Amino acid sequence: MVRALLVLLLAFEARAEWVAGARAGVAFPRELDPCLVVGIEAGRYFGPVGVLAAAELEQPSGEVHGTDPGVGAYAARLTRRTFSTSLRLAGRVELPDATPYAAVGARLVVASLRSNGAAGAQPFGESVDTRVEPAVELSAGARLGPFVGEFLFYRGEETGAVELRVGYAFTF
Amino acid sequence: MRLAPAVLLAACSGATPTVGAVAPALVCAGVRVTVTGSEFRPLAGPEPTLSLPQGFLLPAQGEPIALEGTHWDSQSQMSFAVPAGTRPGAYGVAVRNPDGSEGSLAAALALIAPPVVDELTRACGGAPDVEVRGAGFVFVGGRGPTVLLGGASYAARDPAACAPLPAPAQGMICSRFHLSVPEGVSGGIATIENPAVGGCAAETVVAAVSTGPAVSRLDACGGTLRLRGAGFEAGAVVTLAGARVGATYVDDTTLILDAPAPAGPVAVEVANPDGCHASGTVAVGHAAVLGVVPPVLPAGRAVTATVTMTGLDPDAVSVGGAAIPVQRIPGRPSLYQVAIPAQAAGLVAVVAEEPGCNAQLVVPVAAPTLALARVAPRWLRTGRFVAVALWGDGLAGAPTVALTRTGAGGALRASLGFSAAIATGIVPPVPAGGYDVVAVSSDGRVGYLPDAVRVGPAAPAIDAVSPGAFAGVSTGPLLVRGSGFTSASRVTLRCPDPTPPLAVTSLTADALRATLPGGIVDPTCVVRVTNGDPSDPEAPYAESGTLEVRGDKLDPFETGLPGLVAAREAPAMVAGRATGAARFLYVLGGDAGSASLALASVEAAPLGPDGEVGAFAPLRSSLLVPRTLHGAVRVGRDIYVVGGANAGGTIAGVERARVLDPLEAPDFMDVSVGNGVLAGTHAWMVSARGGPDGESLPSDPWTLTATGSITLTWAPMPGATSYRVYRDGRLVVETPDPRATDDGLVARAEVPLAVGALGPFRAAGQLALPRQAAGVALAHAPDGMPYIYVGGGAASDWATVYDGFEAAPVGPDGPGAFAAAGSIGTARALLPAFVVDDSVDPSVQGSYVYFGAGATAAPGPSVPSNRVNETTAGAVGAGGALAPAQVKTTQMAGAAGVASAGCLHSMGGFPLVGSRGDDGCLGPAPPDLVAWHGAGNGAISDGRALMGAAVERGWIYVAGGTTSLALQPTTIVERTRW
């Protein structure tokens, strides 16, 4: 499998190009409010296939409501600050007006979840749970000029997200 | 998806919890403790999820033990359950927040085992001093355990053999103490409750309060004479019929005498070397194996059977040639449990043997041909009597049903066949584990159902569900009442496919509220409460009866049900429960066409698990006076009958009778066989007489194969003045003593009471005014006190019709004084009364009483033109206060009324317009009603009025009434789902 991939990359060496850029956009995480996401990305494309490294930062927040047998109904305010780095294997199709792509990779996530809620009149008090762990990720999206739309899923042991992102990419 | 390594780092930056105290600090396993401290901080997640701080027990050595049943009250208080099976000792307690920060308190909790009584020994000479030996007796601050024995409570004193309690508890834990118990208290079930210990009461069967040595019988077998008793010591001197005989000590219950067997009862004296002695006249028993339960063994199946043996006391029996150890049953010297391996079809001999003595009984083994389908509930809680229903075939009559697994088992009590397909009974407390079920029908067929029942400490139970019917498409509240609910309880619907767990909005150990999910299109559902993951097949659960998914209107009433024995106009009807599974409809009084033909008789019909109606049969108990146009309500087991009329005019009297409890019956203790002529296999039962409820229900039958006279003994019952012994269902002897000998006594005509019977009716107060055709209801005040409300009604000649109502609280000894309590609005009689509370609609808080439409004329042709179209209602306040005000009304008089699933249902009534019925449903602010509308298909099948009506577990029943204005009583019984 790896050998086949290397053969494929070498075949496209003639059409290889370096890419680097920065991105800023809006992420739409499930359960939490939309938030700003910023990041940088660099890598090399061998024709339609590329290997990309990225780092990004986001901090969504929001209010959740739920019921737990141990407390009854509760509400909580959450802020999840996530810094992550990833290494992706991407595939793209260069069309005249757009470049759709999909990627799979590994991600190292530093997630800090800040929670403060209450059940009835009893406040939970603020708790912060910080974790560093590996995750796998899947993404798919498209570039239209400098604009990027992307669907991202990643999942680790304790952390994970499903996000829809739209943003602007600066290519160096 | 899971990855490894799972988490590289988990860091915490929140406040660190501290543990300040644990209460109670001295507990037994399985109880809840409250932990107070600070910074107990839950962590919410975005899905949403909530991680609660977790509690741990910290043993002196070994791994922390996770506490269960986590409940977070505040940042400074949480509660947890100590896991069952945790070893006694001193423990620290730790709380770990979800962010990983942790606080603990050393020596925070002392865990002890429940007390156990091995022996009660009275000092020689019959003094009141009794020494109690056992383990786990706690003395704190000079207070020791409280012992409840024979209906009286005794305080412990003079502890001995003590050790300090584990820290942090202060006090001692001892294995001996003394009580002052009057002579005459001889044994029974002793309840021992330790002081200052959470959840540590225990029940122990005390065979007898030993008084040094005691003699019970002489066993003559194979030329050897054995003296049986208790407290014998090596070197005891025995005198038989005045002559000293040689005695060889076997153990503290048996001496072998060097003497020929006497021909009959003989005087015996035993003197221990310590000077204690006992004497008495004892019967001479013969060795015999008298019975086996189950009486037919299923071929190819191992069964733990209960074997009755007397005259010998072996450590093992031989079954089919294989020696099997026996397990003695405490307090039952002639009962043994024997784990019989699988046998081939045919006959097998159960042989008991002691040196020089043997006896045997041949037991049939048959291929299981009795189809058994299931038992409900499937999960039973340990340490409790639990009523169950069994589905199969051939179960009519009184089948013998037993639980069995290797080394444990027990026969169901109060076994009663509702039909060929359904039987009910009560599972006695049995050890935790999985059990198979063996059933033997009246005609000797045997059935076997593997893995039928699970018994465990975490099993929940459901008593009632509200609403009994719901609109499936929309969300709504659900209230489940029961026991054993924990923070691990999850609620799902089975329609029949399981829904995801419902959102739980509040939870206590005996009540659980959740939100119905909506979007259900199936016709029926059941509610399942699982203590654990609902998808885990091993998680204990309880299920409700069937809930119907429908709108406001009732389904069509079913006809063709068994009718009343006697046609009854204006009877009263209530539903009652002899056990949680044996439920009955009671139809009381009524008339045969007019008040002058009022009836005193009462009849009852059993109800099946799904509300099926069995055949009605007259009861032995009758009303003290004939009554018609009266009311009836039930409080617990007590049925109250209120007001009414008869040939003598209107009645002010109230009377009550109790639904008899099968567990309040004498228990057989022992049997012996003497010289005599009685032969064959017979079933004996015993009942007690003399209490306020008259004759008790009989004990469970004890089926024995007689080889001579049978002498039975049973545990005395408090308050009993005599006992009735029945053989094969017919009375053979009545005696004031707790023992009787049957050597072919002549059977008399009297038969024992059946499950479902009522005790005798007795006077229970007077109304302030005699009333007939009044609305009668039972509702609860905010403090839980039940009140009987009697509104409207008429005087004897119907010239006076009342606009007032009266009320009385109902305590354990009956109602207090009835007193005028207000107005129901316009004077009227022939009115139904309704009660709405959270059992009708879980969103309702408190109780509301409604007085429905009625009339000012006596039953008959003039009612339609004298109707009073008015409904008044009010909330029940403190002290039973009630101030009814007008709400929307219907137009019927003489209707039967019930409330269910958020609506009032007025059924039948005058005018007799076909199958009339009206439904009025609650508005958003009770007691307001949205409107009354015709019941449509949900009306009764035949137009009639003056019926009895009752609601029982999801079903509405109506019975009797009149089918014409000319007042023709009927026997018709109908039912529909809530």
Total count of residues recorded for chain B = 978
Strand partners, B635: B638
A139 falls within a domain = yes
Angstroms from B429 CA to nearest CA on chain A: 29
- Residue A5 pLDDT level (bands cut at 50, 70, 90): low
Interface test with B, best of A115, A133, A153 (most B CBs within 10 A): A115
Q: Which residues of A touch B (CB under 8 A)?
A: 29-32, 62, 64-74, 76, 78, 80, 113, 115, 117, 119, 122-136, 155-158
For residue range B902-960, list pLDDT tens digits in order. Answer: 888 888 888 776 556 777 888 888 899 887 877 666 678 778 899 999 998 888 999 99
- Residue B647 pLDDT level (bands cut at 50, 70, 90): very high
- Average pLDDT, whole number, for chain B? 88
| Residue B791 CB neighbour total at 10 angstroms | 33
The answer for residues whose C-beta is within 8 angstroms of residue B364's C-beta and 6 or more apart is B295, B296, B297, B346, B347, B444
Q: Could you tell me how many helices (H) and strands (E) chain A has, helices first?
A: 1, 10
Is the CB of residue A94 less than 8 Å from the CB of residue A134? no
Interface test with B, best of A30, A104, A113, A124 (most B CBs within 10 A): A124
Angstroms from B485 CA to nearest CA on chain A: 10
Q: What is the mean pLDDT of residues A13-19?
A: 77
CA distances for B900 relative to B897, B905, B934, B977, angstroms? 10, 8, 16, 10
pLDDT score of B252 more than 50: yes
Which H or E element spans position B577? strand B572-577
Q: Is B55 exposed, middle or buried (0-12, 13-18, 19+ CB in 10 A)?
A: buried
The answer to whether the predicted template modeling score (pTM) of the entire model surpasses 0.80 is: no
Distance of CA B203 to the CA centre of its chain: 17
CB pairs under 8 A between A and B: 133
Looking at residue B13, what is its pLDDT? 46
Q: What is the mean pLDDT of residues B877-892?
A: 90
Which H or E element spans position A3? helix A2-11
Looking at residue B4, what is its pLDDT? 31
Q: Which residues of B touch A128 (CB under 8 A)?
A: 12-14, 99
Four-residue CA torsion sign, B894, B899, B900, B906: positive
| B222/B227 Cα distance (integer angstroms) | 14
Is the CB of residue B786 less than 8 Å from the CB of residue B640? no
Question: Could you give the percent of chain B with pLDDT greater than 90?
Answer: 51
pLDDT score of B201 more than 50: yes
Q: What is the mean pLDDT of residues A45-64?
A: 90
Q: Which residues of A touch B14 (CB under 8 A)?
A: 125-129
| B60/B88 Cα distance (integer angstroms) | 11
Q: Please name the residue of chain A whose CA is at the shortest distance from the CA of residue B68.
A: A70
Q: Which residues of A touch B32 (CB under 8 A)?
A: none
| B840/B846 Cα distance (integer angstroms) | 11
Is the CB of residue B935 less than 8 Å from the CB of residue B917? yes
Looking at residue B12, what is its pLDDT? 41
Least CB-CB distance to B6: which of A30, A78, A157? A157
The answer for residues whose C-beta is within 8 angstroms of residue B704's C-beta and 6 or more apart is B290, B291, B308, B671, B681, B682, B683, B684, B710
Angstroms from B480 CA to nearest CA on chain A: 14
Asked if the C-beta of B9 comes within 8 angstroms of chain A's C-beta atoms, the answer is yes
Q: What is the mean pLDDT of residues B674-700?
A: 91
Residues 357 to 416 of B: which have CB under 8 A from any A CB?
A: none
Q: Please name the residue of chain A whose CA is at the shortest distance from the CA of residue B486.
A: A69
Q: Is A14 helix (H, G, I), strand (E, B) or coil?
A: helix
| B725/B685 Cα distance (integer angstroms) | 6
Asked if the C-beta of B905 comes within 8 angstroms of chain A's C-beta atoms, the answer is no
A11 falls within a domain = no
The torsion region of residue B158 among left (phi > 0), alpha (psi -120 to 50) and beta comes to left
Angstroms from A120 CA to nearest CA on chain B: 10
pLDDT score of B336 more than 90: yes
Strand partners, B945: B962
- Residue B198 pLDDT level (bands cut at 50, 70, 90): low
Q: Which residues of A touch B47 (CB under 8 A)?
A: 31, 64
Asked if the C-beta of B15 comes within 8 angstroms of chain A's C-beta atoms, the answer is yes
DSSP for B451-510, written as a single string = EEEEEETT--EEEEEE-SEE-TTS-EEEEEEEE---TTEEEEEESSSBPPPPEEEEE-SS
Angstroms from B72 CA to nearest CA on chain A: 5
The contacts found for B153-157 with CB under 8 angstroms, 24 or more apart, are B154/B179, B154/B180, B154/B181, B155/B179, B156/B132
Number of structural domains found in chain A: 1
Contact A133 B14 (CB under 8 A): no
Angstroms from A134 CA to nearest CA on chain B: 8
Q: Which amino acid is at B195?
A: P
A3 falls within a domain = no
The answer for residues whose C-beta is within 8 angstroms of residue B759's C-beta and 6 or more apart is B621, B657, B658, B660, B692, B693, B694
- Structure-model confidence comparison of residues B457 and B751, the more confident one: B751
Contact A74 B44 (CB under 8 A): yes
Q: What are phi and psi of B451, to 5 degrees?
A: 45, 50
Is the CB of residue B746 less than 8 Å from the CB of residue B686? no
Q: Is B420 helix (H, G, I), strand (E, B) or coil?
A: coil
Q: Which residues of A touch B48 (CB under 8 A)?
A: 31, 64-66, 76
Task: Give the pairing of strands B541-549 and B469-470.
Answer: parallel
The ipTM estimated for the assembled molecules is: 0.77
Angle at CA of residue B749, ends B747 and B752, nearest 5°: 90
A58 falls within a domain = yes
Q: What is the mean pLDDT of residues B79-98?
A: 90
Contact A31 B47 (CB under 8 A): yes
For residue range B110-156, list pLDDT tens digits in order. Answer: 988 888 877 777 766 556 778 888 888 889 888 888 887 766 788 88
Looking at residue A136, what is its pLDDT? 95
Q: Which of A27-31, A55-59, A114-118, B972-976 has the lowest mean pLDDT?
A: A27-31
pLDDT score of B550 more than 70: yes
Which H or E element spans position B645? strand B645-646
Four-residue CA torsion sign, B275, B281, B286, B289: negative
Looking at residue B9, what is its pLDDT? 37
Q: Which two tokens stand for residue B300?
A: 């190819």
| Torsion angle in degrees (nearest 10) through CA of B877, B880, B886, B892 | 140
| B566/B604 Cα distance (integer angstroms) | 11
Angstroms from B12 CA to nearest CA on chain A: 6
A152 falls within a domain = yes
Contact B44 A130 (CB under 8 A): no
pLDDT score of B528 more than 60: yes
Q: Which amino acid is at B430?
A: V
CATH number of the domain bearing residue A74: 2.40.160.20
Least CB-CB distance to A73: which of B7, B43, B505? B505
Q: Which two tokens stand for residue B969?
A: 């009583």
Q: What is the mean pLDDT of residues B858-885?
A: 92
Strand partners, B722: B689
Is the CB of residue B666 less than 8 Å from the CB of residue B713? no
The torsion region of residue B967 among left (phi > 0), alpha (psi -120 to 50) and beta comes to left
Angstroms from A50 CA to nearest CA on chain B: 25
CA distances for B661 relative to B23, B146, B463, B636, angstroms? 37, 26, 18, 11
Is the CB of residue B378 less than 8 Å from the CB of residue B452? yes
Q: Please name the residue of chain B whose CA is at the shortest distance from the CA of residue A137.
A: B1
| Residue B883 CB neighbour total at 10 angstroms | 12
**What residues make up the domain containing A33?**
17-171
- Omega of the bond leading into B467 within 30 degrees of 0 (cis): yes
Interface test with A, best of B1, B2, B3 (most A CBs within 10 A): B3
- Residue B5 pLDDT level (bands cut at 50, 70, 90): very low
Q: Which residues of B touch A158 (CB under 8 A)?
A: 6-7, 10
Looking at residue B10, what is its pLDDT? 38
Q: Please name the residue of chain B whose CA is at the shortest distance from the CA of residue A122.
A: B74
Looking at residue B475, what is its pLDDT? 84
Contact B72 A31 (CB under 8 A): no
| B833/B789 Cα distance (integer angstroms) | 9
Contact A132 B8 (CB under 8 A): yes
Least CB-CB distance to B50: which of A66, A134, A158? A66
Q: Which residues of B touch A125 (CB under 8 A)?
A: 14-15, 39, 41, 75
Residues 453 to 512 of B: which have CB under 8 A from any A CB?
A: 487-490, 503-507
For residue A117, give the nearest of A86, A73, A149 by alpha carbon.
A73
For residue range B830-849, list pLDDT tens digits in order. Answer: 999 999 999 888 989 899 99
| B674/A137 Cα distance (integer angstroms) | 86
Least CB-CB distance to A71: which of B3, B42, B503? B42
A82 falls within a domain = yes
Four-residue CA torsion sign, B338, B343, B348, B351: negative
A59 falls within a domain = yes
Strand partners, A88: A52, A105
Distance of CA B941 to the CA centre of its chain: 35
The answer for residues whose C-beta is within 8 angstroms of residue A121's C-beta and 6 or more apart is none
Q: What is the mean pLDDT of residues B501-506?
A: 88
pLDDT score of B332 more than 60: yes
Contact A78 B46 (CB under 8 A): yes
Is the CB of residue B902 less than 8 Å from the CB of residue B921? yes
Q: Is B601 helix (H, G, I), strand (E, B) or coil?
A: coil
| Torsion angle in degrees (nearest 10) through CA of B534, B537, B538, B544 | 60
A117 falls within a domain = yes
pLDDT score of B605 more than 50: yes
Q: Which of A10-24, B216-230, B430-444, B918-932 has the lowest mean pLDDT?
A: A10-24
Contact B49 A65 (CB under 8 A): no
